[in-house]
A and B are shown apart, each in its own frame.
Chain A
Amino acid sequence: MDDGNEMSEAGPVVRDRPGERWGGRWNVFNRYANPTRFMQLSAKLVPWFAGATVLLMAAGLYFALFASPPDYQQGESVRIMYVHVPAAWMAMFCYTSMAVASAIGLIWRHPVAEMTAKATAPIGACFTFLALVTGSLWGKPMWGTWWVWDARLTSVLVLFFLYLGYMALENAFDDPARGTRAAGILALVGFVNVPIIKFSVDWWNTLHQPASVVRMGGPTIDSSMLIPLLVMAGAFTCYYFWVVLVRVRGEIIASRIRGLRLRQVHG
């Protein structure tokens, strides 16, 4: 990882003068590069996201499991969709967040962005796993198979492995900063998979059905099913922000403890 060293030499130049170089436009951006400011803001946000998650999840599950109609073809099995689709959306959303945060971390040495990328990986991996498992549970009764190596399923499996690879690489270095940078590059390279997942059902002839919600010509899903789906998607999104804020706070506190211990040892 020689290039990692090069970048760490270039890093401090930017870090020492935040805001100066870009002027007012980047002030907001730089403000939350400061972990102390982030701790203040996130302490206020966490309860809101937690509350929103609980409310939306309760409402979403009620609509999804009780107050929405069965599908004309799938019957009651359609209810798996209310977990599967938001999980799959979040799998891609988390990876996109991880790639953007990694880019910000790599370019501007933004410490909170680096921690956000690191904190997002296990959450995204869980969403991806959930999407794969629920999809498989749906596929067996509907398609007649647990798994098929079509483009959509395979590309989502690759996404799952990218998350695992990110986490493994991140922890493979004695110096955590190098691990974060190496894994950040992997996150950026792997981002190419996200549009492949989205358009796999259009580019290739997959067993997986094409998009029903985010598509040209509007959704092909009845509003009685679309609304619970969107409520569940909102719940999953709030859950992500809740958990990622808690995890980043944990990272900041852990790094402070490390700093204090080092000072104890050397002081």
Chain B
Amino acid sequence: MTCSGRTTSLLCGPDGGRGREAEAQASDLRRPWPWPARDRGRPGADGVAGQGGVFQTPSQVAEEHISGNQRIRVGGLVEEGSVQKEAGTQVRFEITDLANRVPVTYSGILPDLFREGQGIVVEGHLQGGVLVADQVLAKHDEKYMPPEVADALKQSGRWQHMKDSMEQAGQMPPGASTAGTSPTKASPTGAAQ
């Protein structure tokens, strides 16, 4: 894994020495996951996805009018403090790009990596402003360590969990890190074409 050049991963870490702007540019050059096989060529999905993403940011969802029967995929962070377990496997939470939020309901088994502040992708339909999800995907990063080591890192102040999850999410919603500045960057290799 290299920390320079076009193939830069946004998971390179804070010592990569690049600002949010550069990261956003890099993210535009990369193909977002999940692989957009199901959405490709389907009318509607491409138009909404825009900006080179097969998932939308909560800001995009807020800006654009999306009809109820349209299937959408939203990427972002699980809002801190928003997760509410309800009856059975029903769970309610909000997904955010730190600028806008979309409420989500999901019924099913959440991935183990699902937690507040974690970058996720949610797929489902909008019903009255609430995203009724039928799939929730969480991404794991390349770090493996025992809980005690993680605790020690947190105590010593070297822990950058939130920053890392944001970078992880920065890899996911292209607009998250540029929200408020210039959310519409040109995407030469965008999957929207």
Contacts of B135 in A (CB 8 A): 144-145
* Chain A neighbourhood of B87, CB < 8 A: none
Let me know if A70 and B139 touch, CB within 8 A.
no
Q: Which residues of A contact B145 (CB under 8 A)?
A: 71-72, 221-222, 225
Contact A144 B138 (CB under 8 A): yes
Stretch at the interface among B26-34, B41-49, B62-70, B92-100: B26-34
Q: Which A residues touch B109, using CB under 8 A?
A: 144
Which single residue of chain A is at the shortest CB-CB distance from B149?
A222
Are A220 and B138 closer than 8 Å at their CB atoms? no
Q: Give the complex CA separation of A154 and B35 in angstroms.
A: 10
Whether A141 contacts B143 in the complex (CB less than 8 A), given A203-B7, A204-B31, comes out as no
Write out, one digit per residue, whether chain A residues 202-236 have a CB within 8 A of any chain B CB (1) or not (0): 11111101111001110011101100000000000
A69 touches B147 (CB 8 A): yes
Q: Which of B3, B140, B142 contacts A142 (CB 8 A)?
A: B140
A81 in the interface (beta carbon within 8 A): yes
Evaluate contact between B146 and A151: CB separation under 8 angstroms: no
What string of 1s and 0s marks CB contacts (under 8 Å) between B4-36 and chain A? 000101010000000000000001001111110
Q: CB of A77 within 8 A of chain B? A: yes
* B111 adjacent to A73 (CB under 8 Å): no
Complex CA gap A204/B144 in Å reads 22
Q: What is the interface of chain B mostly: helix, strand, loop, or mixed?
A: loop
* CB-CB nearest in chain B for A210: B142
Q: Which of B148-170 contact A (CB under 8 A)?
A: 148-151
Given A69-B148, A215-B1; A220-B35 close (CB under 8 Å): no
Known contacts A143-B111, A149-B34, A217-B3; is-contact A209 B139 (Cβ 8 Å): yes
CA of A199 to CA of B1 in the docked complex: distance in angstroms? Answer: 8
Q: Does B137 contact A (CB under 8 A)?
A: yes
The answer to whether A150 and B34 touch (CB under 8 A), given A142-B140, A202-B2, is: yes
Distance, CA A201 to CA B140, complexed state (A): 12
B residues 119-142 in Cβ contact with A at 8 Å: 135-142
Query: In the bound complex, how far is the Cα of B109 from the Cα of A145, in angstroms?
Result: 10
Smallest Cβ distance from B41 to chain A, in angstroms? 15
Q: Considering the complex, give the chain A residue whose CB is closest to the CB of B2.
A: A216
Other than the given A69-B147, A72-B150, A222-B144, 13 more pairs (CB < 8 A) read A72-B146, A72-B149, A74-B140, A74-B144, A141-B112, A142-B111, A143-B111, A143-B113, A144-B138, A148-B137, A209-B140, A216-B2, A222-B146
17 contacts between A and B (CB under 8 A): A69-B146, A73-B113, A74-B144, A143-B138, A143-B139, A144-B114, A145-B137, A150-B33, A205-B32, A209-B139, A209-B140, A209-B141, A210-B11, A215-B1, A216-B1, A220-B142, A222-B144
